[in-house]
Structure 1
Amino acid sequence: MKNSNRRKFLGTAATILAGTAAATASPLQAAAPKYPVVHHVFFWLKNPGSTEDRDKLVAGVKTLAKIKTVKELRVGVVASTEKRDVVDNSWAVSELMFFADLAGQAAYQTDPIHLEFIKNCSHLWEKVIVYDAVDA
């Protein structure tokens, strides 16, 4: 009975060891970016203390997800994270968009939904900063 358990244990251990060795021997490959063009926008409100204005802007930004070339949209508000010299928490709302290509990002700029958003919500913000990037 003891030999049977020992053989079972050794067989299981050898299988685990072989699987671990195979997994660590193969190099990790980074996945190709799903959507390589990133459009990140930060908004500062005219009335920074107004939750109502912030919520209106958030709702307006969310309408941009309907634009065909916008592949992903994330909308955020300032997080209560640790205060550090490198952290800018002076903004109120951010949008993070992903596009399949630069042509899609360019089409977004003139899309009627985007233009309607600007018309309906630009009175809410005092300042906007945009960061566009492509995967390196």
Structure 2
Amino acid sequence: MSVSNRRKFIATTAALTAGAAASAMPLNTMTNKYPVIHHVFFWLKNPGSIEDRDKLVEGVKTLSKIETIKELRVGVVASTEKRDVVDNSWGVSELMFFSDLAGQATYQTHPVHLEFIKNYGHLWEKVIVYDAVDA
């Protein structure tokens, strides 16, 4: 086997090995560990107010103290391309992951969640919730 062919063989073997190893890995370990998803979208009473938006973001982050929330992500509208299927009318979102439905139920009545509603509820005019479990 020539040096050139040997190099091609080694490169091809390395690529195939890497591909096989990658395909054996789980696609998303977070969803395997935390199958209950709670996604909330908030529409601000004052949608042009960066101060109100930032205050609500601050409030949502306090929810991370709830022990049954395994992962919490807080977002604001991204400046992505405008398309008919994209809704960017909301102001703040929260994405939470729970181990099970019991943990999500605990979150709903947890004192930290109730305090969040009391302290920050005046900032939003509309809330929509999407709950899901891994399929």
Instruction: Give the TM-score normalised by the residue count of structure 1.
Output: 0.85
What is the DSSP-based 3-state SS (H/G/I as helix, E as strand, rest coil) of the residue aligned with 2:33?
coil
Structure 1 residues 1-136: aligned runs within 5 Å: 7-23=2-18, 28-29=23-24, 31=26, 33-136=32-135
What is the percent sequence identity of the aligned residues?
70
Q: Residue type matched to 1:112 in 2?
A: P
For 2:81 and 2:45, locate their aligned partners in 1 and report how far apart those are by CA, in whole Å.
25
Closer, same or farther in 2 for the Cα pair 1:29/1:14, shift >3 Å? closer
Measured on the aligned residues, the alpha-carbon RMSD in Å equals 2.2
Runs of 4+ in 1 over 2 A off after TM superposition: 6-30
For 2:39 and 2:103, locate their aligned partners in 1 and report how far apart those are by CA, in whole Å.
15
Q: Could you list the runs of 5+ residues in structure 1 that have no partner in the other structure?
A: 1-5
Q: Could you list the runs of 5+ residues in structure 2 that have no partner in the other structure?
A: none
Q: Residue type matched to 2:35 in 1?
A: P
CA-to-aligned-CA distance 1:85-127 (integer Å, 9 cap, x gap): 1111111100011111111111111111111101101111100
Closer, same or farther in 2 for the Cα pair 1:30/1:105, shift >3 Å? farther
For 1:118 and 1:133, locate their aligned partners in 2 and report how far apart those are by CA, in whole Å.
22
For 2:22 and 2:50, locate their aligned partners in 1 and report how far apart those are by CA, in whole Å.
49
Closer, same or farther in 2 for the Cα pair 1:130/1:20, shift >3 Å? same
Aligned pair count? 131
Q: Residue type matched to 2:12 in 1?
A: L
Structure showing greater Rg: 1
What is the DSSP-based 3-state SS (H/G/I as helix, E as strand, rest coil) of the residue aligned with 2:83?
coil
For 1:104 and 1:55, locate their aligned partners in 2 and report how far apart those are by CA, in whole Å.
27
